[in-house]
Amino acid sequence: MTSGALARVIREAADRTGDHARPQDPERCELCADLVPEEHRHLLDTTADQVLCACRACSLLFTRDAASEGHYLLIPRRRRRLGPVPTAPLGVPVGLAFFVPRSDGGVRAHYPSPAGPTRWEVEPAAWRETVARCPELATLAADVEALLVNTVQGREQHWIVPVDDCFRMVAVVRREWRGLSGGSRVWPELDRFFAELTEQ
């Protein structure tokens, strides 16, 4: 998860869905420039800190195995709802956060805010404790999958998701937040975001 990638997705989401949305040029593959359909795959460019749109042909070039020696990682589509995950040891200061294991062995935590995402490094021992309590977290693909947690106002939502889902969630907060507490729009929009997540 990178700040550049987050900034780009937030900007694009605001352009598409803001109060004064403007017409968008057709989306193109950012490797070969072919047109891509609305539903298409994304790559994480780990050197440029960007999420890239990819056509089917280009996405097939960057399966996990094929990309292992390069800097493009195909963002998977797996979504899996988990039972409650004890996140207190991770030092989460808020009820809405996501955690991305990195290829260097670290884990970076993020939580959205009206000014953009805030992030910090998770203590390795705390992450190991959490994985011991929820072994499925050991299957997270480094850099491109995340543990997404929503425990705001009594909610209990814990998901394994691709990182581009996390980017979309950050964009919702950035777009809808009003005042100090978020206002009346952000929480219904976040509820809609989580309601639309489906396992795959």
Give strand pairing partners of 74: 43
Cβ proximity of 59 and 43 under 8 Å: yes
Phi, psi angles (nearest 5°) of residue 69: -100, -5
Strand partners, 98: 110, 148
Q: How confident is the model at residue 11 (pLDDT cuts 50, 70, 90)?
A: low
**HSE toward the beta carbon, residue 84, CA cutoff 13 A:** 7
- Asked if pLDDT for residue 44 goes beyond 70, the answer is yes
Range of the domain at 33: 3-196
Instruction: Report how far residue 89's alpha carbon sits from residue 30's, in angstroms, rounded to the nearest whole number.
Output: 39
Q: So what's the pLDDT on residue 14? A: 53
Q: Is 163 helix (H, G, I), strand (E, B) or coil?
A: helix
In single-letter form, the type of residue at position 2 comes to T
pLDDT value of residue 1: 40
Straight-line distance from the first to the last Cα atom of the chain, in angstroms, rounded to the nearest whole number? 21
pLDDT tens digit sequence for 24-34: 678 899 889 99
- Number of domains present in the structure of the chain: 1
Per residue in 147-176, pLDDT tens?
Answer: 999 988 788 899 999 998 998 888 888 888
pTM of the model: 0.81
Q: With a cut of 70, say whether residue 200 has pLDDT above it.
A: no
Q: Please, are residues 82 and 105 in contact by the beta-carbon 8 Å criterion?
A: no
pLDDT for the residue 66: 44
**What are the DSSP calls for 36-68, one per residue?**
--SS-EEEEETTTTEEEEE-HHHHHHT-TTGGG
